[in-house]
Every structure is written in C-alpha cells, then in structure tokens.
Amino acid sequence: MNSKIMPLAEAAALVGDGDHLALSGFAVARNAMAFSRELVRQQRRNLTISQAIVGMDSDLLVGAGCVSHLIYGGGSLDRFGLAEHINRAYEQKRIVAESYSSLAVCFRYLAGALGIPFMPIKSLLASQILERLRETAPENVRQMDDPFTGEKLVLLRALQPDFMVLQAQMADEEGNARVLGPLWDSKEAARAAKHVIVITEKVVPTEVIREQPELTIVPSFRVSAVVPLSFGAHPTSLYRCHDYDADHLRLYVRSSRQPEDFQAYLREYVFDPQDHADYLERIGGSRKLRELEADEDHGY
C-alpha cells in the first residue's frame, strides 16, 4: 500500500506562495477550515483562490492577507452574515476579484478536467456578469458564433488549479476519497487540479472503498496527501459527521467587522493554538464536540 498520510502542517507546506488553490466548501458547509488556518499560520501570500460559492475558509484566508486573486461565483456565511473580508478587500481593491456565476466557475473547472482549453456556454449572455468580466478578466472570456447554428456563445477559459483541497468524510491511506451529500463543484475541481490534498474525517480500509467504488469521487493517483483530522471542517458543518457551530460562526462574524477584533480572533484561534487538538479545546473541547456530532451512526 502506498500510504499518503501526512500531518496537517506538512500537507499545507506543499502549497507555496503564489499558488492557485481550489477549495471544496460552500458557505458554511464542508469548508477546509483546519487547512486554511494552517495556511494562515504558515503565512502564505499571493494565493489565487477559486471556489464556486465562497465560504468561511476563503473569507478567513482573504482576511489574513493570504490572497491576492479570487475567482468565485458569489457566496456568504449563510444566515450568519456576509463574507466581510472578501467584500472589504474587493471594495478596497486589495484583491483581484473575478466574479462569475457558480455554474460558470464549475464549467471552467470542467474544461480543465477534460483537458480542453475552454468551455462554451450560453448562461452569461446579455448579463452584467459578462460585461464586468470583459473589464476585469478579458483574458478569460470570449464571445463567438456557433459554427454550426450561428448562435452566440460565451467561451470560458479552462481552470487548472495547482492544488484542490477536498474536505471529505472518508478516505483510505492511498487517497481514494468519498464525499457524502452535495458535491457542488468538488468533483470537477478535483479532476481539474494538478494535485489534490484530502482532509478526511475518517480513514477507512481500502476494502471499504472497494465495496462501493462508484462513490469514490477522487481516485488515489490524483492525491498528493491525506490528512486524517476529526472536526477539520469546524466551525462549518460536515454532512453525517457534525453540525456547524453557530456560536463560533457568530463570533467570527462579529470579529470580522473591525480589524483589531479580527486580529484578536486570529491570535486566539489560529496563531496561539499549538495544533488542531489545542484549537478544539479552545472552542469548547469534548463537551462542544458532543453537541455538534451527528445524531446517528450511519455506518460509513
């Protein structure tokens, strides 16, 4: 067996300054939070982040000054509030922001996954999104006539991130990974990326994966690292594993409104904790984790 298990810090160190990183979360669900905190801790800079719907992971990275370029299709922290750091960085022109629809981002990944240079679509035609992209990212969008029908088409340049960070419910040591519940753009992004880093709630024997191979969305040969990490998505949710931590999400949103409050948040929950286990103690330890755990054992 070719084990790809490695510690969180070692996996995060694979990502270098200036790399393009695709994230698999959606608002406050299945965010790669522990991995994002580690990137902040390692003081990564000038990252490009792509994500169909941004969430807390990308907002944290932008707020901590790790990101210079964001490719996204909207997003928020759901009922808890806005992605304050992304919105502020966009308004202050501290990041280059390419704003698409979430479908368009997924199609850009799909083109990258298929190994083709672009993807034709119709959904952005006559939209303000397309008008804005012609100004902010003219190198990534084109318009042409369909050579068969003469219809107007938008061409989206393929996305091929350096890394895709997949927050998953299970994987084996070789990297064969399953995501339960909604996939969003995870499958396309993982297949478009040059390397995949899997953060998994649980490591299972390969025999378990082989029982239902059709559920494996990322095969091992695409995976560079597997990081076993219980509650690695905290404070966001992970389907069938744990709920989101509403108290902590409210704390994060409050801290995001003023720079000094956010710096205090980073000290308390990113820089001061010795490791992920220490972070979990700071957010309430075993008592809080029991409150958040999924109610039933679904036998996966």
pLDDT given at position 1: 74
Residues 147 and 270 in one domain: no
% of residues, the chain, pLDDT over 70: 98
CATH (domain of 261): 3.40.1080.10
SS3 28: coil
pLDDT at 296: 65
How do residues 12-39 score in pLDDT, each as one tens digit?
999 999 999 999 999 999 999 999 999 9
Which structural domain, as residue segments, surrounds residue 130?
121-157
Looking at the domain assignment, is residue 266 inside a domain?
Answer: yes
Q: Are 187 and 222 in contact (CB under 8 A)?
A: no
152 and 278 housed in the same domain: no
User: 13 with 37, same domain?
Assistant: yes
CA atoms within 13 A on the CB side of 244: 24
The 118-121 sheet, strands edge to edge: 118-121, 152-157, 141-145
pLDDT-derived band at 297 (thresholds 50, 70, 90) equals low
Q: Is 61:35 a contact under the CB 8 Å cutoff?
A: no
User: Does 300 score more than 60 pLDDT?
Assistant: no
User: Looking at residue 299, what is its pLDDT?
Assistant: 46
pLDDT band at residue 286 under the 50/70/90 scheme: very high
* 16 located within any domain: yes
In a domain, 94, yes or no: yes
Task: Say if residue 86 is in the same domain as residue 169.
Answer: yes
Look at residue 2 and tell me if it is in a domain. no
Residues 230 and 246 in one domain: yes
Looking at the structure of the chain, the number of domains it has is 2
Same domain, 71 and 145: no
Encoding tokens for residue 12? 């995060």
Residues in the chain: 300
State the average pLDDT for the chain. 96
Task: Please state, in angstroms and as integers, the Cα–Cα distance from residue 179 to each residue in 16, 157, 160, 268, following that order.
Answer: 26, 27, 21, 30
